[in-house]
A and B are shown apart, each in its own frame.
Chain A
Amino acid sequence: MYGEEPISRERVVMGEPVRTGDVLFSLRDVSVDYATRAGAVKAVDRVSLDIRKGEILGLVGESGCGKSTLGKAMLRMIQPPGEITEGQMIFDGTDLMTLNSRRMRELRGARLGMVFQDPMTSLDPLQKIVDHLTETVMTHEPSTSEAAARDRAEQLVSRLGLREERIDDYPHQFSGGMRQRIMIALALALRADLVIADEPTTALDVIVEAQFLDLLRELRAEFDLTIVLITHNIGVVAEVADRVAVMYAGRMVEVAGVDGLFLDTKHPYGQGLLKAVPNIQLADAELYQMEGSPPNLLRPPPGCSFHPRCPSEMPICSSVEPSLRAVDQDHLAACWLYEDHPEKRVPVEVAHD
């Protein structure tokens, strides 16, 4: 579609060299396309990301930037018309893309778990909580007896702050926060290593949200859990995440430690995102608003997809795509501001069709 693709492919540079032992899940150039009548929509476009063992990684971005799709892709749960078109997903030394669907299914729930946005609908209304839990346990460990599975379910549920006897209740008898805890319990039933939480607190009010985030932190320590927290709530990320990955229009634009990101944002999009957070201490200040709207992913703009909205746009931005590269200690950004390029100083005619 636009000519510079090969260049950027070569230029993908992973940040500071991480010891492989530290990385639990590594995404390399993962793309997800949705086939529509108008053409392929690149919901996730050559995203690379390392998720380190034991961390809470916040994955942020505005609606439609591909963060949920990426979360689902990590479990290979993209349904047609969507498809993972390229890339590698290395989890604990194995490329998930090479596994057959049966092996993949065995990993889901057992080692990889997911918590969804809407707790009200993510449990089957016709099944008791205990059935959800025992089924998950027995799916992956068929030798477990029903009674043993029930025992485990009770322990888990009480660890998550619900009364044991309530596992015989139906989902509609629980509040949203309780249901979200049950979803966590499901993900933890087999001691998953990695839990992808897709906007788990969006449907919860702030008090329950705070409790839930506390719980996540506790569980991380207790179960040696790695959590990918997908959210559009910058506050939540600042609260719990160790590192933050920022997505824009299907691409990863900035990955940094939480301090690095909030104190020294590199990418103009990340800067805009932070400025757009309401601040109670600046009561008089007008809320910052980013110009423009996210691009149409059917026909993304050439070069950096953020350039039409970028306050620091340079000529090169509209022709050559920047690559994600280390710009600071433990800080990656995909922006020409921090990268040198022969064309950068020469105003170029935008040559695209």
Chain B
Amino acid sequence: MAVTEERQAPDAPDWHEELENVGLVRRIFQARRWYKADWWFVVISSVAVAGFFIVAIFPQWFAPHDPREEVGARVLAPGEAPAFEVFMVPAGSQVAGLADMATGERESFGVVVGEPTSDVARDEVERLNEEGLTGDERLRLGLERFDDLPEMLTALSAGELVAAGAASDQVDLVIDDFPEVEVVGSIAEGDEGAGQSFLLGTNQLGQDMLSRIIWGTRIAFLIGFASAVFAIVIGVPLGLLAGFAGGKLDRGMSIIMDSLYAFPGLILAIAIAAVLGPSVFNVIVAIAVLYIPTYFRIVRGQTLSAKEELYVEAARSLGAKSTVILRRYIFPNVIPSVAIIFSVNVADAILTGAGLSFLGIGLPPDTPDWGIDLARGQQSIQTAWWLVTFPGIAVMLVVLSFTMMGEGLVEIFNPKLRER
């Protein structure tokens, strides 16, 4: 025991001394030395937060698509190429497309029940007829519905159908079992070429999830920071005033703040957001109201203790005015604790903001926002896992790195905490 203690002893005053003489940037880089194994905690989370910041400020640099626009097929899994509807005929048939089927008769065309094939075929038929691409005759399809793909392909092989349509990805799986079936192309002209895949897939509106998440960073940061700053701008001066003035003013303000605090947070935010109506600014106000009591309480408490400090009394004995004492002696001594809550608060506000828009309150419905994406994805969580997973991971990463950076910075700014 004694030996290990002796060995550690020379290290201890070392970083204390260094701390007094280095600036903030070097402190962060030297964090490695005081933190021993944990230093990467701070560094990684700081880098992550900085990265998120850049993304939040310039989403257009990173997002490949417009987050509001339908840029591809709907509900595409990450990396999945969109399926298109293929046109199949029995081997040796002269028919090479829907246009060739315009013979004046109702031609039998096979589809599988429940697939979008019939819609695609109907749209294409309409287009062909309107544009007069079917020659003298109008194209009329007699749809034959089958319960599953193999059944339809069997019928097609047997010559019971003139042609059939199905999704390309499904056809690819079974086509080898039906040598008498020939795939001649897509049902709709041009469909085949639009088969772009997306890194994080698409949602029900055919919007690119990656772009939505990237643009969602901006909304999340905007809501998180603006509401925290808003809460500080209102809560800190009120707390200073109440703590410094004391008496009835203090009691009245404390009662108001405590009753705000006693209200369940999310419900209060929902109520405020619902009353104010949907807009980003209103969400910011709603969340800010939620956090004002937090700042008020902390600042009031700190002010109460700071104003009893001897140096405040000393300042008064030297003739300093109350305003000077408040501004130069109490405020700077209160700020560090505000900074500590701030970083945690931003993370919390991002979560609350996502929660509000998850519930469909606050943000206009077309906003690229993680909460809105989560709410939409939740409807089809069993068929499309990526719709909830990626926005969820985004929220988690941002909140986590904020919290970690906040805690790490607190320890760097205030190494006394480590001595406890």
Contact = CB atoms under 8 A, between A and B. Distances in A.
A107 interface: yes
Contacts of B313: 77, 116, 122
Interface in B287-334: 309-311, 313-321, 324, 328-329, 332-333
Contact of A121 (B311, B321, B324): B311
Contacts of A136: 318-320
Given A124-B329, A126-B332, A127-B328, A139 B310 contact: no
A124 B318 contact: no
A123 B311 CA distance: 5
Contact of B321 (A105, A107, A173): A105
Given A124-B329, A139-B324, A109 B310 contact: no
Contacts of A298: none
B329 to A, nearest CB: 5
B311 A124 contact: yes
A224 interface: no
Contact of A108 (B311, B317, B333): B317
A157 interface: no
Contacts of B333: 124-126
A136 B316 CA distance: 10
Most buried by A among B20, B314, B328: B314
B319 A124 contact: no
A75 B318 CA distance: 10
B317 A75 contact: yes
Contacts of A117: 310
Contacts of B320: 105, 109, 135-136, 139
Given A105-B321, A126-B332, A139-B324, A121 B309 contact: yes
B319 A110 contact: yes
B310 A122 contact: yes
B319 A139 contact: yes
B316 A135 contact: no
Contact of B319 (A109, A127, A183): A109
B318 A108 contact: yes
B79 to A, nearest CB: 55
A326 interface: no
A299 to B, nearest CB: 28
Nearest to A131: B328
A126 B20 CA distance: 13
A288 B69 CA distance: 94
Given A124-B329, A127-B328, A139-B324, A113 B310 contact: no
Given A124-B333, A135-B328, A106 B310 contact: no
Contacts of A140: 319
Interface residues of A, number: 30
Contacts of A121: 309-311
Contacts of B309: 121
B187 to A, nearest CB: 75
A27 interface: no
Most buried by A among B318, B328, B329, B333: B318
B314 A116 contact: yes
B331 to A, nearest CB: 10
A183 B316 contact: no
B318 A122 contact: no
Interface size class of chain B, counting residues whose CB lies under 8 Å from the partner chain: 10 to 19
Contacts of A110: 319
A50 B121 CA distance: 111
A79 B320 CA distance: 15
Contacts of A209: none
B314 A186 contact: yes
Contacts, number: 70
A114 interface: yes
Nearest to A196: B317
A107 B321 CA distance: 12
A122 B314 contact: yes
A210 to B, nearest CB: 24
Contact of B314 (A105, A114, A126, A173): A114
A125 B264 CA distance: 39
A118 interface: yes
Given A121-B309, A124-B333, A126-B333, A77 B316 contact: yes
B21 to A, nearest CB: 11
Nearest to A172: B20
A121 B333 CA distance: 13
B310 A116 contact: yes
B16 to A, nearest CB: 12
Contact of B318 (A118, A127, A173, A186): A186
Interface in B205-219: none
B319 A106 contact: yes
Contacts of A113: 317-318
Given A135-B328, A139-B324, A123 B317 contact: no
A122 B318 CA distance: 12
Contact of A114 (B317, B321, B328, B332): B317
Contacts of A126: 332-333
A75 B309 CA distance: 18
B24 to A, nearest CB: 15
A35 B246 CA distance: 16
A109 B328 contact: no
Contacts of A80: 246
Contacts of B20: 173
A104 to B, nearest CB: 9
A200 to B, nearest CB: 12
A134 B309 CA distance: 21
Contacts of A124: 311, 315, 328-329, 332-333
Given A121-B309, A124-B311, A77 B329 contact: no
A108 B316 CA distance: 8
Nearest to A105: B319
Contacts of A135: 320, 324, 328
A128 to B, nearest CB: 12
Given A127-B328, A135-B328, A139-B324, A122 B311 contact: yes
A125 B310 CA distance: 11
Nearest to B312: A124
A68 to B, nearest CB: 11
A117 B313 CA distance: 12
A117 B328 CA distance: 22
Most buried by B among A106, A109, A124: A124
B167 to A, nearest CB: 69
A135 B319 CA distance: 10
Nearest to B20: A173
A183 B328 contact: no
B317 A77 contact: yes
3 shortest A-B CB distances, which residue pairs? A109-B319, A109-B318, A114-B317
Given A124-B329, A127-B328, 10 more contacts: A105-B319, A108-B317, A109-B317, A113-B317, A116-B314, A122-B314, A123-B311, A124-B328, A124-B333, A173-B20
7 contacts: A109-B317, A109-B319, A117-B310, A122-B314, A135-B324, A136-B318, A139-B320
